[in-house]
Chain A
């Protein structure tokens, strides 16, 4: 019989012990998977799913569907499979079902090689009617507004489209999403050169909700200041332009804003 080699110690068995221990350390929650997906790491999320054991099956199925949508290479066949799974989940009216309906709409809005905006809008409408308070329904209403403004065949004409979106506004009750929709509405009015006063009111309402950061915040502040200047509301224009300068010292537009303030001073004889 061969003897134990000299220098034997337990460390020689560490790899084997590790193998025995690993399954026992598998996750029993999907938190790690969601974090990886939130970090745009779908490959790692798929791997994490394989070590997750006792998560809620509906939540797990949702995570699997999201991984299907997020991983490359993405094909229409894979998206169809994702939609089938999402529709199965959407049969129940819980938060997983709401998320599934929302994502199914997004597949048709953006992910398939040929978008079908009418189908996407159908998903968002169904979700908003079924679970209006769900965060997914609220977000779906914002996406429905975008489709209505720009791509759905009806209503026709810019004014009618804007009116249809205005009608959706009371249904969007979550403040950050309401703010985003107000900005979209205001900019659509500017884009179509319709009702600049109402565009200004939309942006002011969005600013009152707050919470914007970075370039989005700078742009909205500057837009309000400039639109107020154009409308002759110099007091408010000055307030917003000065706020822009205070919050964005290194922005290359500071010089232009300074010129605007000078123009106002000349116009009114005050600054």
Chain B
């Protein structure tokens, strides 16, 4: 019997099959090595936890369907290196068209004025992507639930808007609902600090009885610091109000620093000791050695069912919900009330656990080659349609008005029912914060006490607070310096041409902002001088 050609020439047959397979692949599956779209936008951010990248990807997919000429690439940068990455990329002139930025990022105060392009003109006009939606015809800025409050607070040039924000959130006590039912016999969450302590006690008892690893709170240094920030802010409201000499219903870090150097508050004060006592109490509900762990470890502990609660920002909510094999409920962390036996005497009233201001701000690279397309993409990202897509795919609440909040996310929003004085005495500056973190073991370690922590802080704080006040002064000057050239240019331009009302208003706002910033920097200088003259505290 004669052999077929395949058996007679197996090598050739294999080659032919491979060739045909390749042809099929090339014509049906492959993508060109180069991009077939003439415009490529890059958008960079550090929100690389579960949720936001998927949300932005979904928006990009829809945008690319609508705009066949545009390719949008999402650049995800870990938060730990974001500042360095941002500085290197902008200095090197290779930064993406759109980047996330926050005014609180240490060492980057010069960025908005130097590298970003305001979007004020566009924000005053309706967002064309909102046509046919409940937001049709509204100026873009009026479509944000807070009309971009954060920009009003932090814009380097008053009246100019440099960013659009995507979301809003809060801090929450996330709970393993099934485990709560097992431990407490009910799914009704604790409403007061007293009830919460009762749940803590039952959790400890259960762990002792069963011998299983179980703690009431997932533990890490980060989560402990967030707790500290929350309770200390609440317990210091009365003291903060007493420091509000200017009557602005709030205190800024510089006020707290000045007051400390003038001897108006101490770590031995009862409010501060009450805050430290709450933290010590909560730290005992975390696993031993939590100070050495980061937030990811706490998330893992919670997801494995070894912790009943985890206290975190709603930025972690999607990760928790999508990864947990149990039901995750977002609860408002019970606050200390006036009848609390431990800290009640220091309580003035409810304090804020989140507000309705928007965040996750995207800024426009002023040297980006595709400004018009970048603005258009930001318009779509923050449009009614884009925001719905983002929210549905990210699990984050949209910052855009009229966009429905999914029922499972409603608990992420706070109704604005608490004092908010910005009264974080422990974290009033980076040096003081570092001193606190460095000595946290004095409070929550096996031999730790409130008194020893207060005593160590009292010893280290004078130098730390002075250093922080100097940073405040430098920051005020950093903002002021480049404004001289801008004021000179605008002023001369107006004097020699018909520059118009917009230019006049811009000049007046710049002058006003510069004068007030300078006054602030000079006042801080006087405080420092007085502190130096008074000698070591």
- Chain A residues with a Cβ under 8 A of chain B: 31, 33-42, 45, 59, 62-63, 66-67, 69-70, 95-96, 99, 102-103, 106, 110-111, 135-136, 139, 142-143, 146-147, 149-151, 176-177, 179-181, 183-184, 187-188, 190-191, 193, 211-216, 218-219, 222-223, 225-227, 230, 248-257, 259-260
Q: How many inter-chain contacts with C-beta < 8 Å in the A-B complex?
A: 179
Q: Is the beta-carbon distance between B349 and A259 smaller than 8 angstroms?
A: yes
Bound CA–CA A257/B525 (angstroms)? 31
A176 with B519, Cβ < 8 A, contacts A193-B245, A253-B420 known: no
Residue-wise, chain B 134-176 has the 8 Å CB interface mask toward A (1 for contact) of 0000000000011101001101001100000000000000000
Are B248's CB and A226's CB within 8 A?
A: yes
Q: Which 7 residue pairs across A and B have the least CB separation, nearest first?
A: A226-B247, A37-B489, A250-B146, A70-B485, A150-B522, A34-B493, A252-B420
B513 near A216 (CB under 8 angstroms)? Answer: yes
The answer for the CA separation of A256 and B493 in the assembled complex, in Å, is 44
A187 engages B519 (CB within 8 Å):
yes
| Beta-carbon contact of A146 and B245 below 8 Å | no
Interface centre among B503, B518, B519 (most CB of A within 10 A): B519
User: B482 and A70: CB pair below 8 A?
Assistant: yes
Q: Are B515 and A146 interface neighbours, CB within 8 A? A: yes
- SS class, residues of chain B in contact with chain A: helix
What separation, in Å, do the CA atoms of A99 and B518 have in the docked complex? 19
A147 to B526, CA, bound (A): 12
**Docked-complex contact B482 and A250, CB < 8 angstroms:** no
B270 at the interface (CB under 8 A from A): no
Name 28 A/B residue pairs within 8 A (Cβ), A-sorted: A31-B493, A34-B493, A38-B486, A38-B493, A38-B503, A38-B506, A39-B366, A40-B485, A45-B489, A63-B492, A70-B484, A110-B480, A139-B487, A142-B511, A150-B522, A150-B526, A213-B159, A214-B152, A214-B158, A215-B152, A219-B248, A249-B146, A250-B357, A252-B352, A253-B250, A254-B416, A255-B419, A256-B419
Please, which residue of chain B has its CB at the minimum distance from the CB of A69?
A: B485
Q: Report how far A223 CA is from B486 CA in the complex, Å.
A: 30
Q: Which residues of B contact A181 (CB under 8 A)?
A: 515
- Measured CB to CB, the nearest residue on chain A to B419 is A256
- Complex contacts, B248 vs chain A, CB 8 Å: 219, 222-223, 226, 253
Q: Mark B488-508, 1 if CB is under 8 A from A, else 0.
A: 111111011100000101101
Give the residues in chain A near B159, CB-CB below 8 Å.
213-214
Q: Which residues of A contact B281 (CB under 8 A)?
A: none
| Residue from the set B421, B495, B497 with the largest chain A CB neighbour count within 10 Å | B495
A233 CB to nearest B CB, Å: 13
Q: Is there contact, CB below 8 Å, between A66 and B485?
A: yes
Shortest Cβ distance from A31 into chain B, in angstroms? 6
Judge whether B441 is part of the interface by a CB distance below 8 angstroms: no
Q: Report whether A211 and B420 are in contact in the complex, using a CB–CB cutoff of 8 Å.
A: no
Question: Which residues of chain A are near B489, meaning CB under 8 Å?
Answer: 33-38, 45, 66
Contact A31 B490 (CB under 8 A): no
In the bound complex, residues from chain A placing their C-beta under 8 Å from that of B484 are 69-70, 103, 106, 110-111
Please name all residues of chain B whose beta carbon is closer than 8 Å to the beta carbon of A219 when the two chains form the complex: 248
Q: Which residues of A contact B518 (CB under 8 A)?
A: 110, 143, 146
Interchain CB contact under 8 A, B246 and A99: no
B526 & A253 in contact (Cβ 8 Å cutoff): no
Q: Which residues of B contact A110 (CB under 8 A)?
A: 477, 480-481, 484, 518
Residues B230-278 near A (CB distance < 8 A) = 244-250
Output the nearest chain A residue to B482 by Cβ-Cβ distance.
A40
Instruction: Say yes or no: A255 contacts B522, CB within 8 Å.
Output: no
Chain B residues closer than 8 Å to A102, beta-carbon distance = 488
A95-B495, A181-B515, A250-B149 known; 11 new pairs, CB 8 Å cut-off, are A38-B493, A40-B114, A62-B492, A95-B492, A146-B519, A193-B245, A211-B508, A248-B149, A255-B416, A255-B417, A256-B420
Interface set, chain B 45-78, CB cutoff 8 A to A = none
Q: Complex Cα distance A212/B420, Å?
A: 24
A211 to chain B, nearest CB (A): 6
Distance from B3 Cβ to chain A, minimum over Cβ atoms (Å): 56
Does B512 sit at the interface, judged by CB under 8 A? yes
Q: Which residues of A contact B356 (CB under 8 A)?
A: 250
Alpha-carbon distance between A187 and B481 when the two chains are bound, in angstroms:
22
Nearest A residue (CB) for B527 = A191
A151 touching B488, Cβ below 8 Å: no
Contacts of B491 in A (CB 8 A): 99, 135-136, 139
Question: Is A222's CB under 8 angstroms from B145's CB?
Answer: no
- Inter-chain CA distance A40–B482, complex, in Å, is 7
| A180 in complex: contacting residue of B155, B349, B495, B515, CB < 8 Å | B515
Q: Which residue of A lies closest to B247 (CB)?
A: A226
Is B229 an interface residue, CB under 8 A from the partner?
no
Contact partner of B158 (CB less than 8 A), chosen from A99, A190, A216, is A216
- Whether B331 sits at the interface, judged by CB under 8 Å, is no
Q: A37-B488, A146-B519, A183-B516 are in contact. Are A135 and B495 (CB under 8 A)?
A: yes
**Chain B residues in 8 Å Cβ range of A253:** 248-250, 420
Q: Are B513 and A252 in contact (CB under 8 A)?
A: no
> Which of the residues B147, B244, B249 comes within 8 Å of A257, measured between beta carbons?
B249
Measured in the bound complex, the distance between the Cα atoms of B154 and A215 in whole Å is: 9
Residue of B nearest to A212 (CB): B512
Q: How far is the CA of A180 from the CA of B484 in the complex (A)?
A: 16
What is the bound-complex CA distance between A251 and B250, given in angstroms? 11
B523 on the A face (CB < 8 A): yes
Q: Which residues of the other chain, B, contact A103 by a CB distance below 8 angstroms? A: 484, 488
Residue numbers in A under 8 Å from B245 (CB-CB)? 190-191, 193
B297 CB–A CB distance under 8 Å: no
How many Å lie between the Cα of A31 and that of B503 in the bound state? 13
A45 CA to B485 CA, complexed, in Å = 11
Distance of A177 Cα from B512 Cα, bound (Å): 7
Of chain A, the residue at the smallest CB distance from B145 is A250
Closest to B487 in A: A139
Q: Which of B159, B480, B485, B508 has most A Cβ within 10 Å?
A: B485
Residues of B within 8 A of A215 (CB): 152-153, 158
Among candidates A62, A150, A218, residue contacting B523 with C-beta atoms closer than 8 Å: A150
Cα separation A103 to B489 with both chains bound (whole Å): 11
Bound CA span A225–B487, Å: 32
B184 within 8 A of A: no
Given that A34-B493, A142-B515, A256-B421 are known contacts, is A40 also in contact with B349, CB under 8 Å in the complex?
no
Complex: A181 Cα to B519 Cα, angstroms: 10
Report chain B residues within 8 Å CB of A40.
113-114, 482, 485-486
Which residues on A sit within 8 Å (CB–CB) of B404?
none
Docked Cα-Cα span, A138 to B420, in Å, equals: 39
Kindly state whether residue B122 has any CB partner on chain A within 8 Å. no
From B355, B418, B419, A250 is in contact (CB under 8 Å) with B355
Q: How far is the CA of A4 from the CA of B460 in the complex (A)?
A: 83
Residue B509, interface by CB 8 Å: yes
A180 touches B511 (CB 8 A): yes
**Bound Cα distance A191, B516 (Å):** 14
A190 touches B152 (CB 8 A): no
